[in-house]
Structure 1
Amino acid sequence: MLIIGVDPGSSTTACGVIETTTKHIEFEVLKLKRNLNEVEKIMNVFEFIKKTIENYNPEEFAIETPFYSVNIKTAMILTQIKTAAIIAARLLNIPVYQYTPRQIKQAICGYGAADKKQIKFVVEKTLKIDLSSQPYDVSDAIAVALTHIYVRGL
């Protein structure tokens, strides 16, 4: 079964794709230009997710829900970006599952307050991959997919 995990962000959105049987990993990264307005960012994420789904044809889609933010504007754009990703998946008839950052940290590290460095370390060791040249967004996206695999018992 092919699972796609998504770490949505207003500057970088990443997708981690895991084949549950072989544990083969692929990933895609979208770096958004700083000068884009909110609508352009949302549409870029929508197109990126849609294209990634069309390229890999996953059977299930897992996404990290935005974390709590003191800045309401940041929280709003992250929610809109997450929604664009979900709509892209549902438009292509892919079931969507959502996980909080705490659920992901708990599933991956066994500790709900783990930091990004710990997540990356455990993802690399678990899947025997080297992500040292990749941003944390990639390991986070793969962690979302892994969390989904663990939770669903796949």
Structure 2
Amino acid sequence: MILPLATTDLLPKVIMGVDPGTQIMGYAIIEVQGQRVRVLQYDVINMKALGSNHAVKLKKIYDRMVELIDEFLPDELAIEAPFFGVNVQSMLKLGRAQGVAIAACLSRQIPYVEYAPTKVKQSVTGSGNATKEQVAHMLRQTLQLPPLEEAPKFLDATDALAVAMCHHYQKGNNVKAGGKSWGKFLADNPSKLATPVAGKKATPSKKKPAA
């Protein structure tokens, strides 16, 4: 049964945000219901200890993404586009990392949308030239997050949270890869209603990234 639009708009939606990286990849999970936003978790995938083997890092990204997807059941993925200011080799590696993260979501039939870094910063802070620190500060004020150590690596997690919030501000209008509506999703997956999002983690991850 497809629920009326007015009803589906009131149902919770889970958004996964990702800030791609080949050494540190940030991720965030938020639950949105109307204008209410609840942060379920935000953290990083740390690959520095994996050495220089890029294939091993890509597998780590894929495996961890699938774990997160199966745990939180996100409805949509919002991912940051690679920044064109880096050199060609770095750009290629970053693009592969982004592609693997997207592939993990597509393997679970989760639609995605890509946002330029300046778009994300503009949506969260009002300035497309904001620093990582400014983005993190604004998110902590907006979402009333608990104070966390200002570790440079953790800023990748808040960047991912910014991507998820940017997608929320767009109301999901840019979703790609099928662009299923929430009503269509429920019609295809009636068991989703039997798994309340409230049963998931209700607080952001506070653990520090591995050194």
TM-score range, shorter chain: over 0.9
SS in 1 for 2:26: strand
My pick for the range that moved more, 79-88 or 41-50, is: 41-50
CA-atom RMSD, angstroms? 1.6
Alignment correspondent of 2:14:
2
**1:37-52 equivalence runs, <5 A:** 37-52=53-68
Aligned counterpart for 2:93 among listed residues 69, 77, 80 = 77
Instruction: Please tell me the residue identity of whatever aligns with 1:100.
Output: A
Q: For the residues of structure 2 that align with 1:153 and 1:48, how far apart are their CA atoms?
A: 24
SS in 2 for 1:23: strand
My pick for the range that moved more, 14-23 or 138-147, is: 14-23
SS in 1 for 2:170: helix
In the alignment, does 2:50 pair up with 1:30? no
Alignment correspondent of 1:17:
29
Q: For the residues of structure 2 that align with 1:13 and 1:96, how far apart are their CA atoms?
A: 17
In the alignment, does 2:121 pair up with 1:109? no
Unaligned runs of 5+ in 2: 1-12, 174-211
How far the C-alpha of 1:131 sits from its partner, in A, is: 5.1
Unaligned runs of 5+ in 1: none
Q: For the residues of structure 2 that align with 1:131 and 1:78, how far apart are their CA atoms?
A: 30
Q: Note closer, same or farther for the CA distance 1:67–1:50 as it changes in structure 2 (3 Å cut).
A: same
How far the C-alpha of 1:31 sits from its partner, in A, is: 0.3
| Higher CA-based Rg | 2
How many positions carry a matched residue from both structures? 154
Instruction: Please tell me the residue identity of whatever aligns with 1:11.
Output: Q
In the alignment, does 2:150 pair up with 1:139? no
- TM-score of the two chains, using structure 2 as the length reference: 0.69
Q: For the residues of structure 2 that align with 1:75 and 1:6, how far apart are their CA atoms?
A: 17
Q: Note closer, same or farther for the CA distance 1:131–1:147 as it changes in structure 2 (3 Å cut).
A: farther
- TM-score of the two chains, using structure 1 as the length reference: 0.94
Instruction: Please tell me the residue identity of whatever aligns with 1:31.
Output: N
How far the C-alpha of 1:153 sits from its partner, in A, is: 6.3
